[in-house]
Amino acid sequence: MDPLAGEVERVFREEYGRLIASLVRRFGDIDIAQDAAGEALVAALEKWPGSGVPPNPGGWLTMTAGNRAIDRIRREQKRDEKHQAAAMMYDPTPHDSLGAFESAGDERLRLIFTCCHPALAPEARIALTLRLLGGLTVAEIASAFLVQETTMAQRITRAKAKIKAARIPYRIPEPEDLPGRVDTVLAVLLLVFNEGYLSSADGEPIRAELTGEAIRLARILHELMPQNMEVTGLLALLLLTESRREARVRNGELVPLGDQDRAGWDRDLIVEGQALVRQCLAANRPGRYQILAAINAVHTDARSAADTDWAQVAALYDQLTAIDPSPIVALNRAVAVAELDGPDVALAIVDRLPLESYHAWHATRAELLRRLGRTGEAMEAYDAALAATGNAAERAYLSRRRGELVIR
């Protein structure tokens, strides 16, 4: 790819969520917003190579996309109808009780709550928000949900049609409605963060614009709902995970938690995240995100991998299993079990999990088989893990680990 074309696409991806949110607010139509954003990208790819990237690329894209949307509306001779739809979707009246949201005027938060409206199916809410806010491709979202790309495309299309047909408003819910709407928003923010932190983009193992956006929005949610311990827990989880970002990749290769240089961890984020975890513990109303944050607090509290309190980690995963008995939780719990009871006990757990299409399942099996001396099986598991991931840094790590094995 031409270097400048790559720079244009990078800028576009970073600005995508803000651009879509602005266009939806202005024109009241998600399809028009997406089409106009796509046309703005094409225009940038045509114009910027000759004139260079403008000083304010986000503003350039917004203006260009807005002009393209207006041209389309005029062509369709539906300007009045579209503007009426926009007025119905956008509620400009500030709600004093919404504090941080309305004072910030953040259109992306409005977009999240529109996509997470209870009229939409839960899986559709998350998928649509990932598509519009994070700019993830349908393929990336399908991979996160472990479903076929065609299935995910249909899910997103139906969700957008539902928003239009039901005239779902583009605004933050009233305070009394927030508790019932926030759970899906938290799930979306975690998935946006994970897509940035565990990005499958070749050559770009971490997408900092996504992790940063998820943290920024989580902070605003926390300001709005400081008594909601799951909001607090999610913010703590994101901060503690983000604190390890700089140490997670070295020389283009993934560095597992146990091998990371802990001197490279961001101590300020750790202090902030652990303080939030202590708030959750004091409230004593454990939920999924609080427990995940507590697990991360245990890891970030250990001076070295050898100092990790694996018994506490396993106990926290037991609590999490009671709330979320999913195969992914069981897989992560098995890692702690391996440290406490040995790789053979952990492997028996892992082999029972229906995660054959999940790269981390194969990678975990490979490491456990390696520790058990079952070299041939470990090599097969590494091959399966390599086939299931497109992350360049992870592939480099798995390839090296596989190459170190010698069949005797």
CATH number at residue 371: 1.25.40.10
In a domain, 3, yes or no: yes
In a domain, 164, yes or no: no
In a domain, 365, yes or no: yes
Identify any residues that bridge with 200 across adjacent strands, giving them in sequence order. Answer: none
pLDDT at 206: 63
User: In terms of residue numbers, what domain contains 337?
Assistant: 331-408
Residue 212, judged by CB atoms within 10 A of its CB (0-12, 13-18, 19+), counts as: middle
Q: How many domains does one find in the chain? A: 2
Q: End of a domain among 89, 112, 132?
A: 89
Q: What is the pTM of this model?
A: 0.74
Q: End of a domain among 43, 61, 89?
A: 89
77: left (phi over 0), alpha (psi -120 to 50) or beta: left
The Cα 359–Cα 393 span in angstroms is 14
Q: 130 with 136: CB under 8 angstroms?
A: yes
SS (H, E, C) the chain: CCHHHHHHHHHHHHHHHHHHHHHHHHHCCHHHHHHHHHHHHHHHHHHHHHHCCCCCHHHHHHHHHHHHHHHHHHHHCCHHHHHHHHHHHECCCCCHHHCHHHHHCCHHHHHHHHHCCCCCCHHHHHHHHHHHHCCCCHHHHHHHHCCCHHHHHHHHHHHHHHHHHHCCCECCCCHHHHHHHHHHHHHHHHHHHHHHHCCCCCCCCCCHHHHHHHHHHHHHHHHHCCCCHHHHHHHHHHHHHHCCHHHHEECCEECCHHHCCHHHCCHHHHHHHHHHHHHHHHHCCCCHHHHHHHHHHHHHHCCCHHHCCHHHHHHHHHHHHHHCCCHHHHHHHHHHHHHHHCHHHHHHHHCCCCCCCCHHHHHHHHHHHHHCCCHHHHHHHHHHHHHHCCCHHHHHHHHHHHHCCCCC
In a domain, 165, yes or no: no
Q: End of a domain among 28, 54, 89?
A: 89
In a domain, 284, yes or no: no
Mean pLDDT by 10 residues, the chain (408 residues): 66 79 82 87 83 83 89 71 51 42 58 82 81 79 81 90 81 71 85 75 60 85 88 98 93 93 96 97 94 98 95 97 96 97 98 95 98 96 94 92 84
The Cα 274–Cα 236 span in angstroms is 7
In a domain, 322, yes or no: no
In a domain, 168, yes or no: no
Any residues with CB less than 8 A from the CB of 50 and at least 6 apart, and which?
none
Cα torsion 161, 164, 167, 170: sign: positive
Amino acid identity for residue 116 in this structure: C
pLDDT at 91: 45
In a domain, 302, yes or no: no
Phi, psi of 249 (to 5 degrees): -130, 135
pLDDT at 123: 78
